[in-house]
């Protein structure tokens, strides 16, 4: 069982052994990934196992030597200065050595940025997600089998289309299963597409931007109104509207939300501002490690009188933002953190009434 994943770009290693990769997994391409790098065509061979023009993200997985298996896994992202990928001496050669010594290793062929920096970051995040969820799922399926059936549709030629459960199907293949349980649904192509998109939106571990992009696809590709989409995904229409508004935010704000620097509540408050004030609000929110309520108050002040928000030259450590985010997740939205001139830190949790205080005490009692 995999218990640790490390994103690594490794520079040098000495001894290599010959071991072929066990699996090749296509993660996505420019048509299916959140962002495209604008490249097309085949990978270009640059010699010495180096390639360029990459526009399809793939994982080459080397499974650990069973006799030495440690239960760990590594994802290697080969270097190349974002101009090419040194897949050989910075990828496959390390993977062979590490697999032989008991560590399952996946070499990521990521899409080069081509002036779109979020592209390789998306590929790296998807590679980690795959190894944590799907590859690990293979180990679980080996032991327990497929617990939840997949959903499929029968085609006219007698074959089947997967509506939901593709990851379970792929994990079952990797586990060597020849059959798996499935529900067969009789739906038309439009409903099939909508069901597949809805299933993707309802996945666990999606960030708010990924959910918003999925909802946008439902609107554009299935012709759904926001009200109809809300019914299909089981959310309130206002919730759907809030998600969709996130896509109009500047890329800096969207990236901060995707990376967990700010929460959905922060982004919602920032979205209420005019475009030229949103970046200003983001910088102050992150720098001051503001809570959601404090960000809402900041947005209100900026809307009323942008000039009254003074420039803040004091640098707050990045850890302040992480502290507030964790406190908000576990305890309350109304957290503030202040640093004095001497460097001392004060963390304040505000309760508007006795009910909020009792709720806070209840949450504290559940923390172990």
Exactly one of 46, 133, 166, 350 is catalytic; name it: 166
Alpha helices in 175-274 (DSSP H): 189-201, 208-222, 226-233, 237-246, 251-258, 264-271
Per the CB < 8 A criterion, the answer to whether 76 and 44 are in contact is no
Is residue 321 within 8 A of residue 289, CB to CB? The reply is yes
Q: Are 192 and 151 in contact (CB under 8 A)?
A: no
Structure tokens at 223: 């012709």
The dihedral through the CA atoms of 158, 159, 160, 161 has a sign that is negative
Strands 160-164 and 104-109: unpaired
Cα separations in angstroms, 322 against 171, 223, 262, 288: 34, 39, 9, 11
166 part of the active site: yes
> Phi-psi bin for 38: left (phi > 0), alpha (psi -120 to 50), beta?
left
Catalytic residues: 166
């Amino acid at each position: 069982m995999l218990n640790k994943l490390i994103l690594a770009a490794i520079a040098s290693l000495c001894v290599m052994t010959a071991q072929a990769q066990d699996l090749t997994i296509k993660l996505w391409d420019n048509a299916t990934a959140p962002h495209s790098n604008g490249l097309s065509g085949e990978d270009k061979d640059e010699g010495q196992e180096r390639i360029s023009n990459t526009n399809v993200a793939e994982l080459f997985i080397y499974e650990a030597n069973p006799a030495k298996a440690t239960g760990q896994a590594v994802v290697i992202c080969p270097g190349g200065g974002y101009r090419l990928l040194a897949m050989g001496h910075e990828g496959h050669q390390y993977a062979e050595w590490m697999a032989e010594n008991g560590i399952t290793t996946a070499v990521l062929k990521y899409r080069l940025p081509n002036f779109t920096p979020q592209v390789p970051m998306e590929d790296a995040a998807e590679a980690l997600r795959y190894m944590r969820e799907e590859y690990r799922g293979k180990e679980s399926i080996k032991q327990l089998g497929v617990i939840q059936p997949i959903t499929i549709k029968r085609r006219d030629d007698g074959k089947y289309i997967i509506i939901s459960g593709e990851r379970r199907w792929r994990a079952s293949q990797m586990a060597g299963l020849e059959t798996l349980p499935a529900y067969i649904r009789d739906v038309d192509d439009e409903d099939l597409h909508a069901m597949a998109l809805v299933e993707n939106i309802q996945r666990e571990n999606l960030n708010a931007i990924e959910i918003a992009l999925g909802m946008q696809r439902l609107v554009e590709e299935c012709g759904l109104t926001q009200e109809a989409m809300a019914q299909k995904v089981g959310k309130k229409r206002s919730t759907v509207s809030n998600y969709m508004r996130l896509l109009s935010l500047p890329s800096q704000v969207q990236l901060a939300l995707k990376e967990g620097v700010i929460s959905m509540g922060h982004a919602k408050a920032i979205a209420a501002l005019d475009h030229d004030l949103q970046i200003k609000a983001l910088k102050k929110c992150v720098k001051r490690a503001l809570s959601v309520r404090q960000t809402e108050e900041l947005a209100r002040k900026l809307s009323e009188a942008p000039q009254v928000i003074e420039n803040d030259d004091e640098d707050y450590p990045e850890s302040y933002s992480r502290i507030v985010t964790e406190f908000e997740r576990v305890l309350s939205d109304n957290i503030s953190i202040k640093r004095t001139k001497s460097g001392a830190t004060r963390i304040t949790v505000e309760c508007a009434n006795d009910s909020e205080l009792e709720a806070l005490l209840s949450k504290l009692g559940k923390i172990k």
